[in-house]
Amino acid sequence: MEEHKPFHTEEQRFLQGPHSRQSEFVFAVKVFFELIKGFRSFHFLGPCATVFGSARFKEGHIYYELARSIGAKLSDLGFTVMTGGGPGLMEAANRGAKDVNGKSVGCNIVLPAEQHQNKYLDKWVIMNYFFIRKVLLSKYSYAFVVLPGGYGTLDEFFEALTLIQTDKIKHFPVVLIGTEYHQKLHDHIKHLAVMETIAPIDISLFLFTDNIEEAIAHIEKHAVQQFKLKTKKVHKPFSWLGERK
């Protein structure tokens, strides 16, 4: 079994119950400034599509090449391709965007292993706090593509579905790709509907497919056309605030 070495963080300490009022106020201020850092970095991107997937699949793997193709197709639709900014399938999606001269960004996270920014990013931020990273990955995206991955990928998949199901965000398209890899997960989601812990209609909150063309057509219909993304205003930076695209 792989040994996990201790990795102590400020976030870990914060999540261990109450601390002094002063330390919790300081933590809240740091959270605020990390959010502002993300806002300043991503404010001028235009509509994004976020691709989630494992950091562990290397170049040459079928899923890596799949992610690269998806990144290119999303760019062709006019999206900025956003990922967690790391290696593996995140790198592949960002690389696909650059293959067609599209925009590619990443929202990275400080971790003890695996997570380092890939070389196909036009812009990136490095976050200390997981929950802020997840906010940013959701905030700027009009579509979510979920590729094979582990706990983190599944967390991001279910968070997107939960936000849509509870109307915290609009009904943006979510595509789960990898029918063989995710078949038991899909069966379990259908089981949730049978057990009435979700509504049967909730299964339709995402498209389950291996077909890239079907996935892209779904995103074009339910994001580009539905939200009229071609006419979305892209904000201009204010030089007096030190902003830049």
Residue 63: exposure state from Cβ atoms within 10 A (0-12, 13-18, ≥19): buried
Average pLDDT, the chain: 91
Q: Is the pLDDT of residue 3 over 70?
A: no
Of the candidates 102, 152, 129, 172, the residue with the CA atom closest to the CA atom of residue 27:
129
Q: What pLDDT digit, counting tens, does each position of 214-223 carry?
A: 999 999 999 9
pLDDT at residue 2, as a whole number = 41
Q: What pLDDT digit, counting tens, does each position of 145-197 carry?
A: 999 999 999 999 999 999 999 999 999 999 999 999 999 999 999 999 999 99
Distance of CA 130 to the CA centre of its chain: 12
pLDDT at residue 110, as a whole number = 77
CA 133 vs CA 21, 68, 107, 165: distances in Å: 25, 22, 6, 21
Using pLDDT thresholds of 50, 70 and 90, give the confidence band for residue 115: low
Q: What is the DSSP letter of 225?
A: I
Neighbours of 213 (CB within 10 A): 9
pLDDT at residue 39, as a whole number = 93
Q: Which domains does the chain have, with CATH numbers?
A: 14-230 (3.40.50.450)
pLDDT average, residue stretch 142-147: 98
